[in-house]
């Protein structure tokens, strides 16, 4: 019997306060979330794989200037972009990842190409760029990823560092990710990020690390995380959520909310969020920050997008 399908994404818990952007800019960011969902949903409703769906969803987010991934990625302390991405197939536990890439237009495509090649799971830096080029993926100059907003965020982060003041989540970081359940009952997850603003060159966060920022396992869940990666790394977040479900019988909601609100939120006082889906099509998108770019299409086909507390219904999509 065919499974229900479901899809969710996040565009990072580093959402700016409402008054930082114009109404038109917020509307455009929500439209881009809906566009990304549509790309993945169209694949799922035609019987395509969860793996194809999460890749297509993340590509749209990487191409948007509103998110910290691909075009619009954060600048590091050397005023360069170092991009991380991963993708995982819950059916086979196959995975691919790149870290510290500087020239791959869509890092999630390089992660998928590595998964398909089937030997190394992760490549880093110039080697990741070279692999992507040899795989026929689009290679760009590092400046392609720069936007005026990211230049401003780097200026602010340096000002905070000089004055000893605290930065907002929106100034610091952001990530994009997607999770999906397909008609065959398989799960998949993908994540992509530029890391946090003003990060040390060479720093790698949780996003490209399998079992931490990105994880999918049939029979449990698919998860993509967002927030200060070092804290997700200490708690092996993605695998921990799946293990709580598999071994302790916890629900998707119990396991994900414990990670976001208790393990990371209360224990460390750190902003965190994620998107997750289980094998029955249940979706969770918890966050403990002022907002999180997010969107999902439920197993009933209802589409919702949001940036802060409120969710905007985009109607019921054909299945």
Summarised one tens digit per residue, pLDDT across range 31-69 is: 999 999 999 999 999 999 999 999 999 999 999 999 999
Domain-embedded: residue 54 = yes
Domain-embedded: residue 295 = yes
The pTM score is 0.96
Say how far apart CA 235 and CA 209 lie, in whole Å: 12
Catalytic residue, chosen from 175, 226, 258, 307, is: 175
Domain count of the fold of the chain: 1
Computed from CA positions of residues 162, 167, 170, 173, in that sequence, does the dihedral angle turn out positive or negative? positive
Domain-embedded: residue 117 = yes
Residues 6 or more apart whose Cβ sits within 8 Å of residue 87: 51, 54, 55, 58, 95, 96, 97, 108, 111, 112, 115, 188, 189, 190, 191, 214
Domain-embedded: residue 318 = no
In the chain, the percentage of residues whose pLDDT exceeds 70 is 98
Domain-embedded: residue 319 = no
> Cα 232 vs. chain centroid, distance in angstroms?
13
The mean pLDDT value for 176-197 works out to: 97
Domain-embedded: residue 227 = yes
Domain-embedded: residue 1 = no
Q: What is the CATH number of the domain that holds 185?
A: 3.60.20.30
How do residues 261-303 score in pLDDT, each as one tens digit? 999 999 999 999 999 999 999 999 999 999 999 999 998 899 9
Residue 2, pLDDT score: 60
- Domain range for residue 66? 6-313
| Across 10-19, 54-63, 132-141, least confident range | 10-19
Task: Look up 175 and say whether it is catalytic.
Answer: yes
How do residues 298-319 score in pLDDT, each as one tens digit? 988 999 999 999 999 999 998 8
DSSP bridge pairs for 9: 178, 295
Phi-psi sector, 290: left (phi>0), alpha (psi -120 to 50), beta: alpha
Rounded alpha-carbon distances, angstroms, from residue 278 to 222, 255, 272? 6, 11, 20
Domain-embedded: residue 128 = yes
Q: Can you tell me which residue has the tokens 């094998």? A: 279
Residue 155 main-chain phi, psi, to 5 deg: -60, -45
Length of the chain in terms of residues written: 319
């Amino acid at each position: 019997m065919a499974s229900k399908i479901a899809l969710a994404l996040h565009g990072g818990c580093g959402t700016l306060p409402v008054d930082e952007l114009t109404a038109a800019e917020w509307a455009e960011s929500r439209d881009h979330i809906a566009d990304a969902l549509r790309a993945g949903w169209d694949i799922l409703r035609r019987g395509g794989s969860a793996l194809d769906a999460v890749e297509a969803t993340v590509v749209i987010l990487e191409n948007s200037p509103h998110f910290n991934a691909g075009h619009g990625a954060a600048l590091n302390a050397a005023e360069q972009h170092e991009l991380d991405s991963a993708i995982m197939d819950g059916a086979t536990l196959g995975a691919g990842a790149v870290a510290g890439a500087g020239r791959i237009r869509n890092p999630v495509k390089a992660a998928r190409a590595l998964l398909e090649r089937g030997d190394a799971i992760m490549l880093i830096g110039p080697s990741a760029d070279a692999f992507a080029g040899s795989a026929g993926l689009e290679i760009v100059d590092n400046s392609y990823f720069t936007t005026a907003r990211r230049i401003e965020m780097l200026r602010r982060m340096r000002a905070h560092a000089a004055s000893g003041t605290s930065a907002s989540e929106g100034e610091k970081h952001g990530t994009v990710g997607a999770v999906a359940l397909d008609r065959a009952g398989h799960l998949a997850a993908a994540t992509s990020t530029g890391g946090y603003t003003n990060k040390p060159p060479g720093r790698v966060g949780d996003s490209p690390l399998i079992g931490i920022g990105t994880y999918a396992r049939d029979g449990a869940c698919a998860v993509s995380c967002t927030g200060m990666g070092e804290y997700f790394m200490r708690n092996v977040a993605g695998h921990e959520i799946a293990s709580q479900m598999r071994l302790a019988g916890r629900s998707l909601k119990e396991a994900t909310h414990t990670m976001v609100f208790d393990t990371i939120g209360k224990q460390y006082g750190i902003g965190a969020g994620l998107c997750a889906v289980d094998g029955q099509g249940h979706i969770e998108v918890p966050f403990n920050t002022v907002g999180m770019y997010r969107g999902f299409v439920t197993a009933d086909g209802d589409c919702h997008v949001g940036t802060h507390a409120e969710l905007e219904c985009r109607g019921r999509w054909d299945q």
